[in-house]
Amino acid sequence: MTDIKSLSYEELNNAVQSLGLPRFRAGQIYSWLHQKGVQGFDEMTNLSKDLRLSLCEEYFIPTVKIEDKYTSKIDDTVKYLFKLYDGEYIESVVMKYKYGYTICISSQVGCKMGCKFCASTLAGFKRNLMPSEMESQIHIAQRDLGIRISHIVLMGIGEPLDNYDNVIKFIRTVNNDNGLNISMRDITLSTCGIVPKIFDLIDENIPITLTLSLHAPNDEIRSKTMPVNDKWCVDEAIGACKEYAKKTGRRVSFEYTLINGVNDSEENAKELAGRLKGMLCHVNLIPVNDVKERGNVRSTDKSIKRFCDTLCKLGINATIRRTLGSDINASCGQLRRRKNEGDANENCC
C-alpha cells in the first residue's frame, strides 16, 4: 500500500494515469487531499464509488487523530497530542499572533540528537514522519479550530534535517497553490546544526527561514548540552548559517535557551555577539522550560534581561521570546513523553 497523500503532484498524475483515469482526476484528488485535507477516500464525493474503491485497493491516507487537546487558560494557545496510524504519538502547538495563526509541527517520532535540556529525545528515536503526516497536523488543527493557519514552524518533536527528503517534499506540498498555498517565507525550519544538510537546503532554492538552535557561545559549553556539536562545531554551524543568509538573502535566527549558571552570563553574551557580528541575523532568547527529568534551572529575569541588553548594545538584534501556553507544557516532547509514561492527563484543561 502506498501513502497517496505523500505523492507529489507529478507522482499522483502518473499514478492516476496508470489506473487508466483521465488527467483531471489527479487535480480533483490532489485538491481533496491537500486543499480540503480529507482523512478518507469516502469524503471525495465527486469521485464515483467504484473509483474510490479502486483507490483503496492500492493506496491509503495515513490517519492522524486527535488523542488529547489542551487549551491554555492564559492565551489562545492550543496543544494537540496526535495518534498516528501505527499507534505512535506526536505533538503540535497552534499559537495566535497579531498576523495570524502559526503551527509548530513535529517532523519525527522521537529524536536522535540527544540535547540535554530537551524532552523529545529522552526516549530516543522511533521513526521519520512521512510528508502526509506533517501536513495532516495542519489540516486537522485547522478543521478542529475552524481557522486558517498561515505560518508553519518545524520546531516540534524531531530534527527536520535528519528527515531531509520528506521535509522538503512536505514544504513544497504546503507551498503548492493547489494545496494549502502557504508562502515559503512563512515557513521556518529549526535545526540543531546538521551542517551538510544546511548546505543542501541552500541548493533547494526555497526561501524559507532558517533557525539554528545554538544555545551556547562556544564549543566547550555547547558540547556539554548538545552532542551534535562534537560532529559540527559552533564555527561550522554559524558558518553554514552565514552562507545561508548570503545565498538566500534571508535573515537567519538563532535560538538561545537560557539556563541558569550554564550559558547566561554577561561574558557569554559578549562572546556570542563577537561571533555573530556583521551577520544578517536575529537572536531569540528563550528561558529554559522545566523538563522534570532534565533538572535545568531557568535563568532569572534579571540575567535574561542583562543578556538581551548586552547583545543589543553590541549591535546584535535580540528579543526575549514571549512564552505562550506555559500552563499546558507547550514545549516539544513533554506531552508525548507523558502519554508514553501513562500520565498524560496531568495538565489537561
Catalogue the active-site residues. Answer: 91, 332
Task: Report the residue number, 11 or 219, with the smaller CB distance to ligand SAH.
Answer: 219
* CB nearer ligand SAH, residue 55 or residue 198: 198
What is the distance between the alpha carbons of residues 340 and 90, in angstroms, rounded to a whole number?
11
Number of residues near ligand SAH (by CB under 6 A): 18
| Of the residues 29, 90, 115, 281, which one makes contact with ligand SAH according to CB under 6 A | 115
For ligand SAH, the binding residues in 117-146 under the rule CB under 6 A are: 117-118
Q: Are 108 and 125 in contact (CB under 8 A)?
A: yes
Site for ligand SAH in 155-174 (CB under 6 A): 155, 159
Among 8-16, 57-65, 114-122, 231-239, the segment contacting ligand SAH (CB under 6 A)? 114-122
CB burial of 35-51 (b: ≥16 within 10 Å; e: otherwise) equals: eebbbebeebeebeeeb
**How many CA atoms, within 13 angstroms, populate the side-chain half-sphere of residue 113?**
29
- Residue among 155 and 182 whose Cβ is closer to ligand SAH: 155
DSSP code for 54: H
User: For ligand SAH, what does the binding mask look like between residues 269 and 288, x meaning CB under 6 A?
Assistant: -----------------x-x
Angle at CA of residue 111, ends 105 and 114, nearest 5°: 130
Strand ranges in the chain using DSSP code E only, listed in sequence order: 2-3, 59-60, 64-71, 78-84, 89-97, 100-104, 108-110, 125-128, 149-154, 187-191, 209-213, 252-258, 281-287, 318-320
| 192 lies in the site for ligand SAH, by CB under 6 A | yes
For ligand SAH, give the closer residue by CB, 192 or 195.
192
62: nearest Cα among 9, 14, 10, 7: 7
Q: Rounded to an integer, what distance in angstroms lies between the CA atom of residue 274 and that of residue 329?
A: 34
Query: Rule CB under 6 A: is residue 102 a binding residue for ligand SAH?
Result: no
258 belongs to the binding site for ligand SAH (CB under 6 A): no
Q: Given candidates 136, 175, 257, 263, which one binds ligand SAH under the rule CB under 6 A?
A: 257
Minimum CB separation of residue 195 from ligand SAH in Å reads 13
Stretch that binds ligand SAH, among 17-25, 109-117, 266-274, 309-317 (CB under 6 A): 109-117
Q: Which residue has the cell 491509503?
A: 60
Instruction: Return the number of the residue (140 or 291) whose C-beta is nearest ligand SAH.
Output: 291
Asked if 264 is part of the footprint of ligand SAH (rule: CB under 6 A), the reply reads no
Q: How far is CA 267 from CA 62, 186, 226, 263, 312, in A?
A: 50, 34, 20, 9, 14
By beta-carbon proximity to ligand SAH, the closer residue of 70 and 117 is 117
- State how beta strands 108-110 and 64-71 pair: unpaired
Query: Which residues 286-315 are close enough to bind ligand SAH by CB under 6 A?
Result: 286, 288-289, 291
Selected binder of ligand SAH within 137, 166, 191, 253 (CB under 6 A)? 191
Amino acid at 14: N
Binding residues for ligand SAH, per CB under 6 A? 113, 115, 117-118, 155, 159, 190-192, 213, 255, 257, 286, 288-289, 291, 331-332
